[in-house]
Amino acid sequence: MPMPDTALVLGSTGGLGAALADHLEGLGCRVTRRSRSVDGLDLLDEASLARTAEALAAQGESFDWIVDATGALAVDGVDPERALRDLDPVVMARSYAINAIGPALLFKHFSSLLPRGRPCAFVTLSARLASVGDNRLGGWMSYRASKSALNQLTRCAAIEIARKRPAAVVVALHPGTVPTPLSEPYARGRYTAKPAEAAAQLAAVVAGLGREDTGGFFDYAGASIEW
């Protein structure tokens, strides 16, 4: 997978999204940034997603890489659950809407902006906590389940996108623990990579992927994560 000449970063005002956009621009890539705070790109409002994608298509835009850097860990100020007694169906539904349904709609509306005739990538940010096989501690049920759903949706999108864009690579990536407003409060002594470092790692992983990797789930070092 060559480094991109053009890229679209969705969620570009978040810590990692901004760092990814900056990193790609530093490599000479022409980056288009879209976010909720600047452009009204609202994961909970499908019409806003459709309008944004349609406007880009009307400009004749095509992107070698599309990066979905959206997501939420604490929903509406509510921390991840520690135990089953903490489950709140409203918070669970909100987490699923932001971390699974929203990204699925990004696949729906933005995958047509990938080129047909050359290698390209659509990347969404998942989390190692989404792994069912690697879950040994429990807790954080809403976040874990919503990101697990995202992984399944990514796999489905990879299969469908390949029918018209056989050179496309569609993957879910775990960026590690990055000190951004989303994850810093929960680092608890874990190794963290600064956003710029994490962005460089993720870009290198995508550049190292091949067509055989589409539909996969990888970490910031390029290692496959079990489902």
The total number of structural domains in the chain stands at 1
Work out whether strand 217-219 and strand 30-34 pair parallel, antiparallel, or are unpaired. unpaired
**Would you state the pLDDT for residue 190?**
58
Residue 225, in any domain of the structure: no
Record the pTM. Answer: 0.93
Residue 226, in any domain of the structure: no
Tens-place pLDDT, residues 97-131: 999 999 999 999 999 999 998 999 999 999 999 99
Residue 1, in any domain of the structure: no
Residue 96, in any domain of the structure: yes
Residue 87, in any domain of the structure: yes
Tens-place pLDDT, residues 147-166: 999 999 999 999 999 999 99
Rounded to the nearest integer, the mean pLDDT of the chain is 94
Question: What phi and psi values does residue 219 have, to the nearest 5 degrees?
Answer: -95, -175
Contacts of residue 210, Cβ cutoff 8 Å, sequence gap at least 6: 1, 169
CB count in 10 Å sphere of residue 71? 26
Tens-place pLDDT, residues 49-60: 999 999 999 999
User: HSE-up of 25 (CA within 13 Å, CB side)?
Assistant: 13
Residue 97, in any domain of the structure: yes
Note whether 106 and 10 are within 8 A (CB).
yes
Domain carrying residue 40: 6-219
> For residue 178, what pLDDT band results from cuts at 50, 70 and 90?
confident
Residue 182, in any domain of the structure: yes
Residue 224, in any domain of the structure: no
* Closest among 138, 17, 5, 2 to 72, alpha carbons compared: 17
CATH for 97: 3.40.50.720
